[in-house]
């Protein structure tokens, strides 16, 4: 636990003084009682003493004061809270390398099955959009609450040549921030690289200036990137990741395939496809997300289950002074109520 105003904690030193004052008052009361000629007369007049009950209200009041003083120091604690993320973009690789069978039955089918299982586990109030990418990057399903539409979009994936991971990230950001006028053409020209086409009928808006924020600070959306990580065209992957980091969007990368990879044939050509874990780890690190390895179909399903739990709850440092103030108020009311009930006075 940390404190924004730790100097107020010095006030806790007054609590031992209050305890000493309370003990002094008890001794003084006992001394006054001894002035009577006969203690038996006093006991007979007072009846059975309150015993330990007389100490309970003061102790509760002392605890209330302690809670109020700690609350005044504005404490922060790491607590688990429901996630504020309302939109998730699934960016899924449909390039020819996803034909590899090192994940059974092949990378693409395994990713489709796991993605649909992931959708079933998500809360119904979370909107999900899907970006499919190969040599082109396109929004195949805008963010929606309809799980049926999302499943239909996933089932329609068609493999294509090339892999434009960076372009997929840019398209996902354009979908999350439509008012910023993020344009894939402009980003590609700025990076001096040939662009990967984006099929998007929406009219382009002029790109607006924005002030970069801390990586991972935007809690209303996240991107899940599923790929083998081998970019062959489009916007540079790490440049696109920086765009996401500057907007505070976390990217959770899921590496599908094996590091050794395998040689595949596709439309008369062949190539060896390997999992580029290094790039995927850099993307996750740069955006304050996390990298997950999915070397088998079973691992891929487990990854999506973990992602679902991490996106629905999150640990964050939160000020708990309000909670302590509430505890202090309850203790103070309880102390006063018991004192009135037992002794007909407030403490």
Which residue in 266, 244, 256 sits closest to 135, CA to CA? 266
**Closest of 240, 309, 232, 237 to residue 269, by C-alpha:** 232
Instruction: Quick: pLDDT tens for 292-345.
Output: 888 776 777 777 777 776 676 566 677 888 888 899 899 889 988 887 887 777
44-58 CB burial, b ≥16 within 10 A, e <16: eeeeeeeeeeeeebb
Does residue 199 have a pLDDT over 50?
Answer: no
Whole-angstrom CA distances from 141 to 13, 72, 138, 204, 293 are 61, 49, 9, 18, 25
pLDDT of residue 294: 81
Taking residues 22-31, report their average pLDDT: 77
CA dist., res. 154 & res. 239, Å (int)? 27
Pairing mode, strands 313-319 and 75-82: antiparallel
| List of residues 6+ apart from 9 with CB closer than 8 A | 3, 69, 70, 73
The token duo for 38 is: 């006969």
Q: Among 83-87, 198-202, 250-254, where is mean pLDDT lowest?
A: 198-202
pLDDT at residue 204 tops 60: no
* Distance of alpha carbon 326 from alpha carbon 213, whole angstroms: 34
Mean pLDDT of 45-54: 62
Write down all domains in the chain, each with its CATH number in brackets.
2-79+319-343 (no CATH), 83-295 (3.40.50.410)
| Tokens of residue 41, six digits | 């007369």
Cα 45 to the center of its chain, rounded Å: 65
pLDDT digits (tens, 9 = 90+) for 81-129: 556 568 899 999 998 888 888 888 888 998 898 889 888 888 788 889 9
Q: Are 221 and 60 in contact (CB under 8 A)?
A: no
Range from 4-18, 95-109, 130-144, 200-214 that averages highest in pLDDT: 130-144
201: DSSP letter: -
The whole-angstrom separation of Cα 16 and Cα 21 is 9
User: Do 173 and 247 touch, CB atoms closer than 8 A?
Assistant: yes
pLDDT greater than 50 at residue 195 = no
Distance CA 250, CA 88 (A): 10
- In percent, the amount of the chain with pLDDT more than 70 equals 79
């Amino acid at each position: 636990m940390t404190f924004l105003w730790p100097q107020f904690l010095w006030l806790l030193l007054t609590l031992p003084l209050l305890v000493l004052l309370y003990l002094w008052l008890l001794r003084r009361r006992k001394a006054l009682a001894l002035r009577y000629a006969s203690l038996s007369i006093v006991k007979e007049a007072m009846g059975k003493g309150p015993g330990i009950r007389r100490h309970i209200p003061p102790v509760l009041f002392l605890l209330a004061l302690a809670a109020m003083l700690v609350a005044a120091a504005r404490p922060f604690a790491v607590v688990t809270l429901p996630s504020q993320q309302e939109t998730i973009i699934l960016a899924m690789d449909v390039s020819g390398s996803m034909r590899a069978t090192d994940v059974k039955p092949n990378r693409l089918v395994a990713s489709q099955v796991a993605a649909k299982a992931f959708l079933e586990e998500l809360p119904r109030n979370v909107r999900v959009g899907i970006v499919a990418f190969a040599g082109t990057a396109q929004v195949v399903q805008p963010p929606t609450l309809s799980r049926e539409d999302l499943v239909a979009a996933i089932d329609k994936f068609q493999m294509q040549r090339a892999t434009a991971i960076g372009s997929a990230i840019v398209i996902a950001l354009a979908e999350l921030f439509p008012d910023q006028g993020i344009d894939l053409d402009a980003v590609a020209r700025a990076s001096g690289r040939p662009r990967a086409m984006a099929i998007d009928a929406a009219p382009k808006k002029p790109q607006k200036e924005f002030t970069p924020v801390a990586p991972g600070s935007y809690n209303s959306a996240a991107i899940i990137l599923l790929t083998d990580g081998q970019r062959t065209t489009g916007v540079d992957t790490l440049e696109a990741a920086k765009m996401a980091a500057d907007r505070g969007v976390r990217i959770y990368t899921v590496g599908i395939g094996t590091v050794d990879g395998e040689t595949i044939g596709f439309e008369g050509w062949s190539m060896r496809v390997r999992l580029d874990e290094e790039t995927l780890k850099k993307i996750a690190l740069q955006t304050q997300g996390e990298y997950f390895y999915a070397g088998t179909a079973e691992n891929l399903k487990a990854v999506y289950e973990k992602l679902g739990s991490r996106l629905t709850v999150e640990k964050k440092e939160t000020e708990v002074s309000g909670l302590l103030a509430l505890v202090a108020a309850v203790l103070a009311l309880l102390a006063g109520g018991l004192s009135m009930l037992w002794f007909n006075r407030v403490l």
